[in-house]
Structures are given as C-alpha cells and as structure tokens.
Amino acid sequence: MTAVPSRRRFDELTDPEIAAALARSPRVILPMGSIEQHGPHLPTGTDFFAATSIALAVADHLDALVLPVCPLGVTPMHMPFPGTVSLRPQTLQDVVADIGASVAGHGCTEFVILNWHEGNIPSLALAAEHLHRDLGLAVVVVQACYVAEERYGPQAGGLTHGGKIEAWSVLSCRPDLVHLDRAAGSGDRRQGELVDRLRRDRAFQPVLTDVRTMSPAGWYGDPAGATEQEAREFVAGLGAEIADRLIGVLDALAQVQPGPAQAQARGAQARGAQARGAQRGASARAPGLPA
Ligand SMILES: [Zn+2]
C-alpha cells in the first residue's frame, strides 16, 4: 500500500518544495515528545505520537510545515522503568536551539514548539527565549497536553499518565500500538491526582523525583472504552482549537513587539553592549588575573 504523503511534513517534501512552502508561509511547527513508559497498554512513544498528530492537525489551519518530531525528552521521573530514555535538560535545550536556528536560516520567521511532555517545559522555555532574543524568531511554545486537559479533561477523566486522553492520542494515528485489553493495574486515582496537582501548580512548584510516588504501576486513569472514532474527533477538535488560539497569540505578538528584522538588530545591539561591557571589565582587572 502506498501511503499518501502529507504536504506538511518537512521530512517528506523535497528541497524545492520546502523553499516554496517557506516562501508562501514562514511558519514551522516542531512537535516535542518523550520516550517513557506508559504502562502495559500504551507505547513508550505515546507523547511523540500525540505531538505529531496534533501538530499535523494544527498545521493545516496555519499553512505551516511540521518538522520531524523530536522524540526524546527530559524525563528522569520515569527512569525507574526500563521503557524510558531521558535527555539532560541542557541537551534538549541545545537540540531545540539548533533546530530553530536551522529553519530560521531558511526563512522561517514564526516558530511554534508544540509540546506534549511536561518534563520538557523548562528546557523549551530557555531554548525559545534564545531563538527569539538572539535570532529574532517569533516563538510560541504550546503546551498541547494542557489545552487537551482544559477541553477534554472533564469527559476523559482528566489528563492522566496513561489515561484516556493519551490513549486517544495514539489511537488516532497508530491504533495497532494500543492494547486496551492490557490496561489493568491502574494506580489509585486519588493518589495520582494529588501528585498531578502538586506538580502542575502555578504558584508552588515542588520537585518530584520518581513517578512511582504518583502510582507504583507508573500510570493511572481509565482508558477503557476509548475508540478510534473518538480519537479522530479529539485530534481534529484539539488541532482546530490550538490553531485558533495560536493565530490569536501570533497576531497579538506581532502587534506588541517588533518583527524579526528589528528584533535581530536589537539582539545585535544588546550583544555589542555586552561585549563592550566585558572589554571594559577585562581592562579594569589587573593583567594576568583570571576573569
Ligand atoms: Zn505521556
């Protein structure tokens, strides 16, 4: 069977097609996920399947290209389980900065990072700051998992690790990897919700080291009964909502802060001032003393 190629996937287009797409619309989306255990019923790549399918749903509304997903994330909490591979925060920050710099060099001016994994959030914030301040990209990081929670949480039993929202995310694109018949042994819901409340609080932010504090089994929730039809509606609905809100954010950004060229000039000015400050500092020090 020949799959129909998506006209949005960067890795499936030719070089001239990429050039034409960027000339028509300078928007690029980077989906971000993780490789981590998701219980006995969902694949370790659940987060990157979620990020990819939602990014593709968003891209149609935005006329944007979708980069190949960055599948690995920062996930030390899940390392007690063998189905987990984690990056260090600095590594992820560097990878995202390099990806953004590459597409900026080819004409991208609006860079959207669509993230499904909470452990990536600090690294993405730092990489986004760099891409905006130093390279002049308009950057928006979308925590797609939280938009999913807002819109679908009430009907899906919340955003839980291994629950229905995550089952839908994989069912929408790879139903062969979802094993709902094996979804036994969910952790206690009250315990899981307590830990999720702790780690998602906006004002008080404790550090949690081990996902087994949330559930000894590593997951909780109720994915039973999730269907492919619901999954397709979930991805299409979420994609439309994210696109709609994202367009609003990009428009508002364009109004309140300068475009890429001006931001770049401002970044260069700031770097020049920094360099002059460093020179003055060096000449004020006695020769031979370390900085
Ligand atoms: Zn997940």
Query: Distance from the CA of 32 to the center of ligand 1, in angstroms?
Result: 11
Burial class (CB in 10 A: 0-12, 13-18, 19+), 39: buried
Query: Distance from the CA of 27 to the center of ligand 1, in angstroms?
Result: 26
Domain covering 10-265 assigned CATH 3.40.50.10310 in the classification:
yes
Distance CA 54, CA 125 (A): 20
Query: Distance from the CA of 28 to the center of ligand 1, in angstroms?
Result: 23
Query: Distance from the CA of 213 to the center of ligand 1, in angstroms?
Result: 16
Query: Distance from the CA of 47 to the center of ligand 1, in angstroms?
Result: 5
**pLDDT class of 2 with cuts at 50, 70, 90:** very low
Distance CA 122, CA 280 (A): 33
| DSSP code per residue over 228-256 | HHHHHHHHHHHHHHHHHHHHHHHHHHHHH
**pLDDT class of 272 with cuts at 50, 70, 90:** low
Query: Distance from the CA of 126 to the center of ligand 1, in angstroms?
Result: 22
pLDDT at 276: 55
Query: Distance from the CA of 123 to the center of ligand 1, in angstroms?
Result: 17
**Domain locations in the chain?**
10-265
Query: Distance from the CA of 248 to the center of ligand 1, in angstroms?
Result: 27
Across the chain, where does the E strand assignment appear?
Answer: 27-32, 65-66, 110-115, 138-143
Q: Computed over its alpha carbons, how large is the radius of gyration of the chain? A: 21
Distance CA 117, CA 6 (A): 24
Using alpha carbons, select from 261, 173, 208 the residue that is nearest to residue 76.
208
Query: Distance from the CA of 43 to the center of ligand 1, in angstroms?
Result: 9
- What is the percentage of the chain residues whose pLDDT exceeds 90? 85
Burial 162-183 (b: 16+ CB within 10 A, else e): bbbbbbbbbbbbeeeebebeeb
For the ranges 3-7, 132-136, 231-235, 284-288, which has the lowest average pLDDT?
Answer: 284-288
- Encoding tokens for residue 32? 């971000």
- Encoding tokens for residue 65? 């290209």
Query: Distance from the CA of 252 to the center of ligand 1, in angstroms?
Result: 31
Burial class (CB in 10 A: 0-12, 13-18, 19+), 267: middle
What strands lie across the sheet with 65-66, from one edge to the other?
65-66, 27-32, 110-115, 138-143
Query: Distance from the CA of 268 to the center of ligand 1, in angstroms?
Result: 39
Residue 266 has pLDDT above 90, yes or no: no
Query: Distance from the CA of 284 to the center of ligand 1, in angstroms?
Result: 53
Query: Distance from the CA of 83 to the center of ligand 1, in angstroms?
Result: 12
Average pLDDT, the chain: 90
Structure-model confidence comparison of residues 262 and 150, the more confident one = 150
Q: What is the pTM of this model?
A: 0.88
Distance CA 57, CA 22 (A): 18
